């Protein structure tokens, strides 16, 4: 995930400029304080959001700082498959649940479950909640 930090800094600088210019406007102090409070909360929330997104992003070299426990394939329970690159950033091995024909799935997501071999996660329409594990030749539900 890429974050445009320079765009965020431009927005932050613009908001600070706006806050400073509020002091020079000819509005009553109650309205000015209300606007400043809302802008302060906005800046605080957006800063927290950017910090959170950056902390959960998989940047180059992220896996170098992750300690993985050894997980042999034999430790994966039935109905799962051992994969080398498990999880959101793919740093450690793990056991991923295998979904069977007709089970609900979520396409295009680093998930903890995938369709079993020979099946694909197919959407019936644009609603991902209606996605099911189907054979590649199924164009709809054929239960």
Token readout for 89 is 């950033």
**Average pLDDT, stretch 56-64?**
74
pLDDT of res. 30: 85
pLDDT of res. 127: 63
Q: Which residues contact 96 (CB under 8 A, 6 or more apart)?
A: 80, 81, 83, 86, 111, 112, 113, 114
Distance CA(89)–CA(80), nearest Å, equals 19
pLDDT of res. 138: 59
pLDDT of res. 36: 78
Q: Which residues contact 42 (CB under 8 A, 6 or more apart)?
A: 15
pLDDT of res. 87: 75
pLDDT at 29 over 90: no
**Average pLDDT, stretch 85-92?**
80
Query: pTM here?
Result: 0.51
**Average pLDDT, stretch 65-70?**
84
Distance CA(104)–CA(131), nearest Å, equals 6
């Amino acid at each position: 995930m890429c974050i445009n930090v320079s765009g965020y800094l431009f927005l932050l600088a613009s908001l600070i400029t706006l806050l400073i210019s509020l002091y020079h406007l000819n509005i009553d102090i109650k309205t000015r304080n209300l606007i400043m409070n809302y802008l302060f909360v906005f800046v605080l929330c957006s800063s927290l959001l950017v910090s959170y997104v950056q902390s959960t992003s998989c940047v180059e070299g992220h896996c170098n700082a992750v300690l993985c426990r050894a997980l042999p394939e034999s430790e994966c329970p039935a109905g799962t498959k051992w994969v080398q690159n498990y999880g959101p950033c793919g740093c450690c091995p793990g056991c991923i649940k295998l979904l069977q024909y007709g089970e609900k799935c979520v396409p295009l997501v680093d998930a903890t479950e995938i369709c079993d071999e020979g099946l694909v996660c197919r959407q019936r329409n644009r609603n991902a909640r209606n996605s099911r594990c189907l054979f590649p030749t199924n164009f709809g539900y054929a239960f």
